[in-house]
Chains A and B, each alone.
Chain A
Amino acid sequence: MAPFIEQALEAVDERTGLVSFVKEFFAEDIPASSGWHQVFGSIAMFLFQIQVLTGALLALNFSPSPPEAYLSVQYIMNELTAGRMMRGLHHWGASAMVIVVVLHMIQVGVWGAYKRPREATWMVGMVLLLLTLGFGLTGYLLPWDNKAYWATVVTTQISGLPPIAGAWTKEFLGAADGTVGALTFARFYTLHTMLLPLLTVGLIVFHVILVRKHGVAPQPGDENKPTKKFYPGQVFKDTTAIFIVFTIVFLMAVMIDAPLEALANPADKEYIPRPDWYFLFLFQILKFFPGVWEVVGAVILPTIAIVALILLPFIDRSRIQKVSQRKLAMGIAAFGVIAWSGLTTAAIMTTPKIERPQATPAQLAGAQVYEANNCSVCHVVNGVGEMIGPPLNGIGARQSKEEITAKITNPQGTNPESAMPPYALPPEELDNLAEFLMSLH
């Protein structure tokens, strides 16, 4: 290193201690048994950083209010360079984060690394897992498409199931009347972009401080072997694992568009809502509990499971064993994974295909033109949309097809005060759109 850089670093260190802090952080002693199985925490931390970065970038071009939220997501996807990639990274990165955080929990659980004195580290980690799922739940609503809308209707209904606390939760989520709209959107957005990130950053710092305080959990036999340094051996393993996961998420972001369905439509009675894949098992469990027993499947069982996991270090108080001898822990983990896979598969298999009522091909194509141009931002059709412009049901009885097409191409032609922008649609699309509008009763 050049002498002036060394001098600069020394000057910074003398005043802040940052340089020594980083040096000490990387010079940590870790047990001889540590290795590839401990990369998950670092990957989770990295994925969280990706979410923060891409989340902030998405927010730069996001209108956090329905229905414009949907338009701004379309804008990000279609108009902005790398917009698809940023949303893809955020979307697939979220799924990757759920997987990695769960793998991190399974690794720590199977190795028994939660045992005394590391109980607090485990419990903070469990809260971080719940926060990760909370991000998924609240982020789901923000694109304001049909999937977002209907899945959140179900979510807010479930949140209202527990006695007393349920009513408060629904009130807090702005869904006291059972509907999802601007209020719920604002609550979810605030949770997703302010409260949850602040909490998560704080708890990650606390989690890492605890890991450093207690050191990486040793295995029996480590006491007789010399310790290793965190840098470069383990940092190399962590970086390699991070790079592999990043490559997968990056390729998915580039090759598979994050889904964006039609604009949220509360009148769409044919829509079959399904949660994101990592919540499908909970959704499937709900089916086993009819009527009054629903609260058992929706609230009581998950709560018991979560509390049991949080209190695991106090339930299993046996001494630290070699991982190869922890047969019961492996069995429970394997059972958990198999049960989860089974429930998820069952949920996917039992999802019926959506069947739409018959309409003429021109009307169907017209409905797509209506959706593609987001007419419901200003018009109401079948009770859906905003009242900025006139509602369109029954327009066929009042106006001819020619009058309708004229109004779409040049709204100011008949009414100079009209705030509607002119739409220069291709003739075929214009004709289909008019056919669709004429068919509305």
Chain B
Amino acid sequence: MCENKQAPPPTRRTFQERAIYVLAGLLNGALGIPALAYIFVPAKGGQTEEWLEAGAISGLPDGRPTEVSFKRTRVDGWRVTNETATAWVIRQGNSITAFTALCTHLGCAYHWDHEVEKFECPCHTSFFSKDGSVETGPAPRALDRYETKVENGTLFFGTVVEGESV
């Protein structure tokens, strides 16, 4: 092998440069990948899937949307709380529809307007008809609903089903 004695051997310089990049790359990977997982992978625990009791159906007027409150357990990071939530429920004979309480546009609470017979969101004036479909306004989809069931005259809410897109 012939090597230049004056300058440092080029092979060693190349080796050192490569080693710096490889080691720094490994290091950044070993830190960066778990860090991204830590930030973006959802936490293991979560909302428990169960039927939530929402009172007796006998109190619900026939055909008129009524705001019903119910208790639910909310898992919020390290905090587990018992909170009161509401839903808009319409009983028509034996069929029951329950809409979640928030507008599908940007999450404001909407209300039933008795005079115009529509759900009205005060934030950006989205209007929904009694069956939850969008009539006017910026809402991108019909109102979301809870799965419902009735046992011994008591109403239960299940999982949320997203409303149909406009």
Interface residues of A (CB under 8 A from B): 50, 53, 57, 60-61, 63, 68, 71-72, 74-75, 78-83, 85-86, 89, 232-233, 235-236, 239-240, 242-243, 246, 250, 411-412, 416, 418-422
User: When A and B form their complex, what is the total count of cross-chain residue pairs whose Cβ atoms lie within 8 Å?
Assistant: 86
A242, A243, A419, most chain B CB atoms within 10 A: A243
Q: For the complex, what is the distance from the CA of A246 to the CA of B13, rounded to whole Å? A: 24
Given known contacts A57-B38, A80-B38, A75 and B27 CB-to-CB distance under 8 angstroms: no
| SS of B interface (majority) | helix
Whether B82 lies near A420 (C-beta < 8 A) is yes
A-contacting 9-mer, from B73-81, B90-98, B131-139, B143-151: B73-81
Q: For the complex, what is the distance from the CA of A296 to the CA of B16, rounded to whole Å? A: 52
Closest to A416 in B: B71
Asked if B63 CB lies within 8 Å of chain A CBs, one says no
Whether A68 lies near B38 (C-beta < 8 A) is no
Whether B20 lies near A232 (C-beta < 8 A) is yes
Out of B34, B39, B82, name the residue touching A421 (CB < 8 Å): B82
Interface size, chain B (Cβ < 8 Å): 29
Query: Whole-angstrom distance from the CB of A379 to the nearest CB of chain B?
Result: 14
Asked if B23 CB lies within 8 Å of chain A CBs, one says yes
Interface residues of B (CB under 8 A from A): 8, 13, 16-17, 19-20, 23-24, 26-27, 30-31, 34-35, 37-39, 41, 43-45, 71, 73, 77-82
Given known contacts A60-B39, A233-B16, A239-B20, A422 and B73 CB-to-CB distance under 8 angstroms: yes
| SS of A interface (majority) | helix
Q: Which residues of A contact B30 (CB under 8 A)?
A: 246, 250
Whether A53 lies near B31 (C-beta < 8 A) is yes
Selected A-B contacts with CB under 8 Å, 8 pairs: A72-B78, A79-B43, A81-B37, A86-B38, A89-B31, A233-B8, A235-B20, A412-B71
Q: For the complex, what is the distance from the CA of A416 to the CA of B70, rounded to whole Å? A: 11
Q: Which residues of B contact A232 (CB under 8 A)?
A: 13, 16-17, 20
Q: Which residues of A contact B38 (CB under 8 A)?
A: 57, 80-83, 85-86
Given known contacts A80-B38, A81-B41, A74 and B80 CB-to-CB distance under 8 angstroms: no
